[in-house]
Structure 1
Amino acid sequence: MNIAAVYHEAKSRYAYAYDKDTLHLRLRTAKNDVDNVKVIYGDPFNWGPKSKDDKTYTEHVWKYESTEHLNMVKEYETDLHDYWFIAIRPKYRRTKYVFILEKGDEQLLYGCRYIVDISKNKEKVLDLFNYFNYPFINPIDVYKAPEWVKETIWYQIYPERFANGNKENDPKNVLEWGSIENVKNNMFFGGDLEGVIEKLDYLANLGINGIYFTPIFTSPSSHKYDIINYFEIDPQFGDIQVLKTLVKEAHKRGIRVMLDAVFNHCSFYHPFFQDVLKYGEKSTYKDYFHIKKFPVFAGNPKDFHFDDDKNVLNYDTFAFTPFMPKWNTEHPKVKEYLLDVARFWITECDIDAWRLDVSNEVDHAFWRAFRKVCDETKPDFFIVGENWDDSYAWLQPDQMHSVMNYEFMFPVWSFFGHRSIKATEFKYKINKLLCLYPKNIGEYLFNLLDSHDTTRILNICQGNKQIMKLAYVFQMTFGGTPVVYYGDEIGLAGGHDPDNRRCMIWDENLQDLDMFKHIQKLISLRKTYPLMRELDIKWVDTNDNTNHLIYKKQTKDGTLYVVINNQNQPLNLMKEELVGDFYDVYNDKIITIKSNYIVNPYGFLILKKLCKNKE
């Protein structure tokens, strides 16, 4: 066996409490290297006589909980590794455990301190010194998130470009709605919160039940990620009363509301930073930011051009833009100020969630305090971080519930859009994602296909709307909580930022109504069939020649199959497991699959297995 590839870590994503009674254990081995893995586990303090007849307790032995060693399931595979899984329920909520790896006649015991061949050293099997330890399942340490999120389909709105409901608050330099396709971030088209209120019935008809807004607080830009006043709605969007109305009307329709918290940085024109620029080292706020030396800045920030050798900033910022100085969130007054912001909008407007901009650059201590404030203010509040890679360190019970799941988006782009990977590699990448986080976290990840920070999914799919439909089929049949970026549902195109921020199209003659119906139907099906929301995937078939996927979602309540034909040729579906009678849930009809079945080019099937009548 390839011992170097074997990996487990106690109290980690490899060993975690799924709930107050259940532990999930994972083990990684080299691909196709191990035939079977068993687990021995038991309470570390459960010792007793070797036999029932020993009334004198002359010889004590450890009593492990299972009468037979338990077999793990080889749950997922990647190009390099196999991942094994088991759920156990320690009787007293604490346990020691060890793994036995089997390959042919070889048996290796894998513990926390050494690996040993137990066919030659049987006495090592019960050496608790070598057992991994889960000391105790403390309920407060178990990851939890609001139950409502599992059933939420989000819709991301970039307010300045969604809808103009009140021309009275338009900026002076407003442009005619949709008059320019090649948009820039310094352009204004008059989108506002009243426009969103007017379109709530449209959103309810689409079927979404959560709205994520990019920032809406006072800022000189169209994107509002450079905030001047965190306690004020930007006047071009409305005011606090308009937001209160929006939230109330959204809640009437069963739609939750998430705002964007920009706590990594603020605007160059924020009064605190302006005070630093004016008074330098004498400023009350000089320690609110990461100042390297004084004077902090001279001249017009618009003229600044970063150069690593010749022209660097005297203060930390988001990226290298002088317009966004970075907050020192370790400073008590900064922490108090920003936490007051978080509390204020929950209390005043009854919002349901915060999305945290650039969350991976803010210290963990701040996010722990932030989580505490949110939990105390509204117990079923939801928090999503903007992290672009492995985020396990932030997804702890005392920090964030979820992150924008770019680890989901990139493989989807590669397989459906860029066509840079085939079906098998796509499966491996999705499997790796499914093993990246504990299952109770995976159920809440914010799964996106695009956003205000990326090229739109239609452009990623090279303008092919049939392929884009397939990407949405995969997203809506995947676990977690999916999000639709505004306009995707009517075929809005756009390259990278800022081209991905075009004005929403409201003329139905210019909308792709077929795409709208497709996404609307997938949303409806996801609500109707909980199997679509199940996290775990069982792969039935992937084929690199035909580039198709077949996978299933399975629980005690039934089985749902998904077939995706990611090629421009018909797929002759020949799979023994898919022979029989099925309910085609997308097309609302019963079909019978015999020895083969034709799936159209870039077509798909979502099939519910029909149970045979008992005779």
Structure 2
Amino acid sequence: MNLQAIYHLPKSNYCYAYDKDTIHIRLRGAKRDIKKVVLIYGDKYIWEESKKEVSMSFNCSDEKYDYFKASIIPINKRLTYYFMIEGEKESLYYTEMGFSEELKSEDIYKYGFNYPYINEIDVHKVPEWVKDAVFYQIFPERFYNGDKTNDPENVKLWGELPKRDSFFGGDIKGIIKKLDYLTELGVNAIYTTPIFESPSNHKYDTTNYKKIDPHFGDLETVKILVRLCHERGIKVIFDAVFNHSGYTFFAFQDVIKKGKDSPYYDWFHIKEWPITVEPLSYETFAFAKSMPKLNTANPKLKEYLLDVAKYWIEEANIDGWRLDVANEIDHHFWREFRQVVKKTRSDAYIVGEVWHNSLPWLMGDQFDAIMNYPFTNICIKYFAQENIDEKRFREGINRIIMSNTQQVNEVMLNLLDSHDTFRFLTKSKGDVNKLKLASAFQLTYTGTPCIYYGTEIGMEGEDDPDCRRCMEWDKDKWNMDLLSHYKTLIYIRNKYTPLRRGSFKWIEIKKDIISFVREYKDEQVYVLINHNNNKKNIKLNLDKKYCLDIIKGNSIQINDGIVNITILPYQYKIFLVKDYI
């Protein structure tokens, strides 16, 4: 066996408490190398009488590795364990000390892997409502101008191509006036990019963290927005920019004037004073002179920012926070942030902007999820650009799944595009069929889908600022077929519980077909996606009595446990399977 590829680590995504009673165990090995894994486990204080064995099931494979899994309910909440791994020609025990052909019982206490105790307070509890959510991301300045009296100077004509400093007059009342549109679309959660006072159109350079930007509205307008959303069953999360402030932030302005005499000097990372922008005498976000980096280790600044997080939940009744540039802020801050936010609203959703592997933030003491850009990237490669085949796509998705715990995967914010990326339809060179297939996967896959405003009607755009065009409200310019597709898929996701809360498992039925099943209690939903120019005839093996074509609304005949399906090029099928009508 390839011993270098075998890996396990307690208190990580390879061994974690899923709930107050259950521990999930994973083991990694080289692809097609391990034939069998037996997990031997018990309470180390009463090992002989508590010892049990269970064969670990094969979970999935990525580009390099196979993964095995087991779910254990340990007695007394304590777990000591080791693995017996069988290869083609050898069997080895695997403990914290490595590999051995023999293992003495007295060695288990010293060398066994351990999950010492399931402390319920350590279990990562994610908000239940997020599992049922379909998010819609809004860039307020470009969504709709609902109040022309608060427009900035030199507002551009709605629909002109944006430049970096363009203003078009979108505001909070604009979102309120378009709530009927969001309800008809079927979404039940919105995430807005920042709305606090700032000189820019994007508002990521905050001037005042406790004041709504006057060009967007005021506190009362925001309260009305949140109240009206909640009346419609729509959750609302705001965008917090705590990595950096704006140049016009009161504390930074005080530092400019007073230098080290300012009580706010240590709120920032000042290299030297007086403050200069050429060269930069202070640290910033991405060398942007208008965004001085905040020193979140400073106790007074920390107190200020945590109060901001609490304030908006209490004052506006929001349902959570999206956290900008979350990976550049210290973990100590985020741990305290979670404590404050969850104490204020226990089911608040905390989602960080992290573009890479994010496990250090996702073990239950910081974020609930991240904006799942690894998901975005693999979907673009497969659906939009066709750079990889179906096998590599599955492997890439599996790698993402195995990078996180199950409860995190259940609430990951899965997006195809955002205000920081090319729009998907631009990446696919205008091919709407590719967007349909990608969104079919997004809206039936595990996790929480997030739709960027306008994607559902066929909007395009390259990198910032082009991806931040004005929302198109002329229905004659909408792709109505695409919009109908989105409405149908959102309706299906909202109606069928397996698509929101069910397990996820690939099924391999034919090359070039993406196929998987979501299962919840006694219901299964099968999803087949043909990202191919050829028609496919498929035999689907089922162990239930009833099969419904969800999109067409008609039942399908099951003959001897087999359903015969024809799936056309660039088409998807969704079936509900159960034992009763």
TM-score class, shorter: over 0.9
Contact kept in structure 1, 2:545 and 2:579, CA below 8 Å: no
* 1:600-611 paired onto structure 2 within 5 Å: 600-611=568-579
Question: 1:106, 1:396 → 2: CA distance?
Answer: 35
- Which residue pairs with 2:407 in the alignment? 440
Q: Among the aligned pairs, what percent are the same residue? A: 45
Q: Confirm whether residue 18 of structure 1 aligns to residue 4 of structure 2.
A: no
Aligned match of 2:240? 261
- 2:70 corresponds to 1:86: yes
How many angstroms apart in 2 are the aligned matches of 1:125 and 1:609? 50
- Helix, strand or coil at the partner of 2:50: coil
Of 60, 84, 98, the match for 1:100: 84
Equivalence for 2:456: 489
Counterpart-to-counterpart distance in 1, 2:43 and 2:98: 21
2:372 aligned residue: 405
Alignment of 1:251-330 (within 5 A): 251-297=230-276, 312-330=279-297
1:266-318 deviation per Cα after TM superposition (whole angstroms, max 9, x unaligned): 11111211222222233232111001112221xxx5xx5xxxxxxx5221100
Displacement after TM superposition at 1:124 (Å): 5.9
The correspondence of residues 72-471 of structure 1 with structure 2, limited to 5 A, is 72-104=56-88, 106-117=90-101, 121=102, 123=104, 127-178=108-159, 180=160, 182-297=161-276, 312-471=279-438
- Which residue is 1:4 aligned to? 4
Aligned 8 A contact 1:22 1:90 in 2: yes
In the alignment, which residue of structure 2 is the partner of 1:512?
A: 479
8 Å contact 1:434–1:536 — kept in the other structure?
no
**Structure 1 residues 167 and 74, CA gap change in structure 2 (3 angstroms):** same
Opposite residue 66 of structure 2, the aligned amino acid is D
Letter in 2 for 1:497: D
Amino acid at match of 2:570: Y
Distance in structure 1 (CA, Å) of the matches to 2:22 and 2:564: 42
For 1:139, the aligned partner's letter is E
Q: Secondary structure at the match of 2:574?
A: strand
Between the aligned partners of 1:612 and 1:245, the Cα distance in structure 2 is: 45
Q: 1: distance between equivalents of 2:216 and 2:108?
A: 66
Q: Please say if residues 502 and 520 of structure 2, whose CA atoms lie closer than 8 Å, have aligned partners that are also in contact.
A: no
Larger radius of gyration between Structure 1 and Structure 2: 1
* Separation in structure 2 between the aligned mates of residue 390 and residue 34 of structure 1, nearest angstrom: 26
Q: How far is the alpha carbon of 1:129 from its aligned partner?
A: 2.0
Per the alignment, in what secondary structure is the counterpart of residue 483 of structure 1?
strand
Cα deviation per residue 1:482-508 (whole Å; 9 max; x = unaligned)?
101001111111111110111111121
SS in 2 for 1:329: coil
Unaligned runs of 5+ in 2: none
Q: Which amino acid aligns with 1:393?
A: P
Secondary structure of residue in 2 paired with 1:45:
helix
Change (3 A) 1:373 1:612: closer
After superposition, the Cα gap between the structure-2 partners of 1:562 and 1:45, relative to the gap in structure 1 and judged at 3 Å, is: same
Q: Where does residue 35 of structure 2 map in the other structure? A: 35
1:584 aligns with 2:549: yes
Contact 1:404 1:445 in 2 (8 A): yes
Deviations 1:563-596 (A, max 9, x none): 1110223223245569996311122122347785
**Farther off after superposition, 350-359 or 594-603:** 594-603
Change (3 A) 1:595 1:245: closer
Q: How does 1:567-578 map to 2 (within 5 A)?
A: 567-576=532-541
- Once residues 349 and 542 of structure 1 are traced to their aligned partners in structure 2, the CA distance between those partners, rounded to angstroms, is 50
| Residues 26, 69 of structure 2: 8 Å contact kept | yes
- For 2:548, the aligned partner's letter is Y
Farther-moved stretch of structure 1 (242-251 vs 567-576)? 567-576
* Partners of 1:151 and 1:186 in 2: CA distance: 37
Contact kept, 8 Å, 1:476 with 1:526, in 2: the verdict is: yes
Preserved CA contact (<8 Å) 1:573 1:596: yes
2-side partners of 1:246 and 1:497: how far apart? 27
CA distance in structure 2 between the aligned counterparts of 1:572 and 1:342, rounded to whole angstroms = 54
Change (3 A) 1:350 1:254: same
SS at match of 1:196: helix
Give the CA deviation at 1:373.
1.4
Q: Match of 1:237, SS? A: coil
Using the alignment, how far apart are the partners of 1:122 and 1:135 within structure 2?
21
State the distance in 1 between where 2:254 and 2:564 align. Answer: 73
Question: Contact 2:415–2:449 (CA<8 Å) still a contact in 1?
Answer: yes
Q: Secondary structure at the match of 2:75?
A: coil
Contact 1:427 1:542 in 2 (8 A): no
2:305 partner SS: helix
1:470-490 CA-partner distances (Å, limit 9, x unpaired): 001100111111101001111
The aligned residue for residue 562 of structure 1 is 527
Aligned residue among 29, 50, 65 for 1:64: 50
Mapped partners of 1:576, 1:126: distance in 2:
47
TM-aligned CA distance change 1:290 to 1:131, over 3 Å: same
State the 1:108 CA deviation: 0.8
Cα contact 2:493–2:499 (8 A) shared by 1: yes
Give the conservation status (yes or no) of the 8 Å contact 1:579–1:592.
no
| CA positional deviation for 1:7 | 0.5
> Does the CA-based 8 Å contact 1:458-1:492 persist in structure 2?
yes
Return the offset for 1:265.
0.4
Looking at structure 2, the residues matched to 527 and 244 of structure 1 have their Cα atoms a distance apart, in angstroms, of: 27
**1:535–1:29 Cα change, 3 Å:** farther
Paired letter, 2:354: N
Matched residue type, 2:318: I
Q: Deviations over 1:67-91 (max 9, x none)?
A: xx21000101112111000000011
Change in CA separation of 1:345 and 1:5 when aligned onto 2, cut-off 3 Å: same
Return the offset for 1:432.
0.8
Contact 1:424–1:542, Cα closer than 8 Å, also in 2: no
Query: Is the Cα contact below 8 Å between 1:443 and 1:535 reproduced in 2?
Result: no
Residue type at the aligned position of 1:330: A
Aligned in 2, Cα 1:363/1:123: closer, same or farther, shift over 3 Å?
Answer: closer
Match of 1:59 in 2: none
Tell me the equivalent position of 1:473.
Answer: 440
Task: Confirm or deny: 8 A CA contact 2:502 2:519 kept in the other structure.
Answer: no
Residue identity opposite 1:611 in structure 2: D
Deviation readout 1:410-436 (Å, 9 max, x if unpaired): 111100011111000000001111111
The runs of 5 or more residues in structure 1 that have no matched partner are 48-61, 305-311
Cα distance change, pair 595–209 in 1 and its aligned pair in 2 (3 A): closer
Change (3 A) 1:296 1:482: same
Query: More deviation in 81-90 or 106-115?
Result: 106-115
Partner of 1:52: none
